[in-house]
Structure 1
Amino acid sequence: MSDMKPKPVRKSDPMVNLMSNSIYDLPTPVNLSTLWNSGSLLGLCLMIQIFTGIFLAIHYTPNTEYAFYSVVHIMRDVNCGWVLRNTHTTGASLFFMCVYTHIGRGIYYGSYLRSMVWLSGTSLLLSLMATAFLGYVLPWGQMSYWGATVITNLLSAIPKLGDYLVKWIWGGFTVSNSTLNRFFVFHFVLPFLMLALTVMHLAFLHSEGSNNPLGLKSNINTIPFHPFFTLKDTVGFVVLLACTSFISLLFPLLVSDPQNFIKANPMSTPTHIQPEWYFLFAYAILRAIPNKLGGVLAMTLAIVVLYMMPTLHHNIMMGMSFYPTSQMVFWFFLNSFLILTWLGSAPTETPFTEISQLMTLVYFLLIVTIPMLGKPWDTMIFRDYQES
């Protein structure tokens, strides 16, 4: 009689074994910090947005005559509808907070050198921004309507094709019922595209290996993902859900614009049109450039420049852990991002316009130079090594 013990199901069953190797037994660098929680938190945010969005779509009416009142109906008449909507709007803000933390960590520790992981993640960011913009229009409030009008009109800056693109997106000659219907359909579909991109992102991550604070190879010192990092992620989930509940139940106006609680009126332009806080840095860059086409290009480049970071890297080591100059420049870059976010909510007048132009220049200079600032340190260290 054989003394060999039977293999556990997670090892014997091919499908379960695949899932186990992807999560349960995944070899993970032992020195991952709390900043690596942002990836799992983003997955939780996506799930919250999808599930709350599906239930909200059941009661929403994508028609310019009824959209605003259907939102009022959700808030007042649907059982726990106000919790659903507040959770959805709060979840969007927390989603972007986790995304910006995730990107900042990736820049600081050189995660962009895992090129396919970084490129798929940047595509996820663009999809998220598109989804959030489309969703902001759906309540058909004052800021929704005028935000849609201003942002879609930016496409008219494209030579020759601009006007045709704007009319195609509008479905007519102005932001109307056709526009709202299109935005609702794409807002509903895009999260499922994001889900597919997330699967690709994770596949590339498991293929290329996770980064770590020291920038060492992932297979040098690893431990299983479970139970060490599942416990760590669970703590992050509890904190995120607590923050979502706290804001949704007690302070929903922290992440909502009161102007959007007024029904859209095409005949009355708000004094100061501005997007949600997570778009303010790009909005400040847009307004900083006097030329319309130049502003659109600069705003687009502010995000697209992330695709270029793997090619800009010229340092020997991956992250900034061993580059004091790069660390200092990174914090200057973070400050420029925060200042641009503040400037996006400021009126278009002196001195805010001039500060926006200065901060836009600083933003682009720093994000381009961060991946290559370690070169002098590499030269100095290599010279000292040769002399010793």
Structure 2
Amino acid sequence: MSEFKEKKLPETKGVFQWIEARLPIVGFISAAVGTKYMVPKNLNYMWNFGILSALCLLIQIVTGLFLAMHYKPDVNSAFDSVEKIMRDINYGWLIRYTHAVGASMFFAMVYIHIFRGLYYGSYKKPREMVWLIGLIIFIAIMATGFMGYVLPWGQMSFWGATVITNIFSAIPLIGETITTTLWGGFSVDDPTLNRFFVLHYLVPFIIAALSIIHVIALHRVGSGNPTGVEPKSKNDVIPFHPYYTFKDGVTIVLFFIVLFGFTFYAPNYLGHPDNYIEADPLVTPPHIVPEWYFLPFYAILRAIPNKLGGVVAMGGAIVIYAFLPWLDYSKVKSGRYRPIFKKFFFVFTINFMLLMWLGAQEAVEPYITLSRIGIIIYFGYFFALPLISKYEKPLPIPDSIDSVK
């Protein structure tokens, strides 16, 4: 047998280098956001929303841990335990409001991050896997946000859970089984609340793991940039630190100003007042509406008269993003150089915000008809992408990032 030889670690000149040589995670973080990681030198502020999304996830996990220490996942105690957190626990109101406002901020950052990717072609080769992992993260965030909305056990929590979980019953053959499994019985009740609490606590850690994989996949192929031109020389790139760490720092400060502006002065502005009424299965609210970040998809679900058709349309509105790398096969990545694509993208963006507004309205005319028009425009964008890719004449793109003035 060969004699075992101790692995020699590299010589170190400081405390940080000593730790980095013995703890790989430190080296990974350094490689991800340090001087060794080279990124395109022309990234604008739209690229800051990735790190802001990660910051939101961290805030949600930390505040969620403190809330879980006092929350009781029981239909007879859940509402009162939230009120106790707000009234009797030291700074409980601050933790709860930061968590609630943080959820809205999280979705706002993620939506901007996604739409930036849509405009600049971040889903195109060689970043298809980065995009697909990001889509999985988005679906997990939506599931976590929905389950978290149920936990306060107010009127909107209970009836929102009833409406949304009921949609699974429309799935042929297995729908009823899925619904009763989610409920833990034959209606939204104590087992449902327990299931949602456990999953709401667990899934954010899965999201954190997926986010690390997302970053690893990104670093394997490198970051995109507003021109869509891949870096070709050392003149096209700069170290992430200190240039982009300071740039991120500016937006992080602005982020906290907005977050705590809402937390201290308008914590319930983005919520629904009915959720301060304890859940009552015998009293149906006149207008059931989810949180604002679900509204575009809720509008799609509600506008289809057939229950199964609504479920398929709502699910398809999310899953269709997975096919973008193959639907849009234009060799030009950035929308900056694609005049026809740019027009379609802005129509799609405005239509998405219109669906968000329609989702908050009552299910009556003319809102139902407008929602159906919005659905046609929404899916029409994706079906138009192959035609745009084929017939569009892009503007001349620069030879390199360094040549852009």
- Seen in structure 2, the aligned counterparts of structure 1 residues 353 and 18 have a Cα distance that, compared at 3 Å, is closer
- AA of the residue aligned to 2:218: L
Number of the residue aligned with 1:272? 287
Number of the residue aligned with 2:96? 85
Answer yes or no: is the 8 Å Cα contact 1:312–1:371 preserved in 2. Answer: yes
Number of the residue aligned with 1:212? 225
Answer yes or no: is the 8 Å Cα contact 2:98–2:263 preserved in 1. Answer: yes
Mapping 1:210-289, distance limit 5 Å: 210-218=223-231, 220=233, 221-289=236-304
- AA of the residue aligned to 2:338: Y
Superposition deviation, residue 235 in structure 1: 0.8
Answer yes or no: is the 8 Å Cα contact 1:315–1:378 preserved in 2. Answer: no
- Seen in structure 2, the aligned counterparts of structure 1 residues 174 and 8 have a Cα distance that, compared at 3 Å, is same
Alpha-carbon distance in structure 1 between the residues aligned to 2:395 and 2:43: 29
Superposition deviation, residue 26 in structure 1: 0.8
Residue 94 in structure 1 maps to residue 105 in structure 2: yes
Which of 43, 64, 72 aligns to 2:54? It is 43
Superposition deviation, residue 9 in structure 1: 6.6
Alpha-carbon distance in structure 2 between the residues aligned to 1:141 and 1:6: 57
Number of the residue aligned with 2:403? none
Number of the residue aligned with 2:133? 120
Structure 2: segments with no counterpart, 5+ residues: 1-10, 398-405
Mapping 1:1-388, distance limit 5 Å: 13-14=20-21, 15=24, 16-24=26-34, 25-113=36-124, 114-218=127-231, 220=233, 221-370=236-385, 373-378=388-393
Superposition deviation, residue 376 in structure 1: 2.2
SS, match of residue 335 in structure 2: coil
Number of the residue aligned with 2:5? none
- AA of the residue aligned to 1:137: V
Alpha-carbon distance in structure 2 between the residues aligned to 1:323 and 1:374: 9
Answer yes or no: is the 8 Å Cα contact 2:338–2:394 preserved in 1. Answer: no
Answer yes or no: is the 8 Å Cα contact 2:337–2:395 preserved in 1. Answer: no
| Deviations 1:94-153, CA, capped at 9 Å, x for gaps | 111111100000000000011110000000000000000000000000000000000000
Superposition deviation, residue 6 in structure 1: 7.4
Query: TM-score scaled to structure 2, two decimals?
Result: 0.90
Q: CA RMSD in A?
A: 1.8
SS, match of residue 295 in structure 1: helix
Alpha-carbon distance in structure 2 between the residues aligned to 1:253 and 1:334: 26
- Aligned-residue sequence identity (percent) comes to 46
SS, match of residue 62 in structure 1: coil
Alpha-carbon distance in structure 2 between the residues aligned to 1:272 and 1:150: 12
- More displaced 10-residue stretch of structure 1: 146-155 or 16-25: 16-25
- AA of the residue aligned to 2:156: M
Alpha-carbon distance in structure 1 between the residues aligned to 2:44 and 2:300: 33
Alpha-carbon distance in structure 2 between the residues aligned to 1:369 and 1:10: 52
- Count of residue pairs brought into register by the alignment: 378
Superposition deviation, residue 8 in structure 1: 6.4
Answer yes or no: is the 8 Å Cα contact 1:325–1:373 preserved in 2. Answer: yes
Structure 1: segments with no counterpart, 5+ residues: 383-388
Superposition deviation, residue 314 in structure 1: 1.9
- AA of the residue aligned to 2:347: F
Superposition deviation, residue 270 in structure 1: 0.4
- Seen in structure 2, the aligned counterparts of structure 1 residues 17 and 48 have a Cα distance that, compared at 3 Å, is closer
Answer yes or no: is the 8 Å Cα contact 2:301–2:314 preserved in 1. Answer: yes
SS, match of residue 321 in structure 1: helix
Query: TM-score scaled to structure 1, two decimals?
Result: 0.94
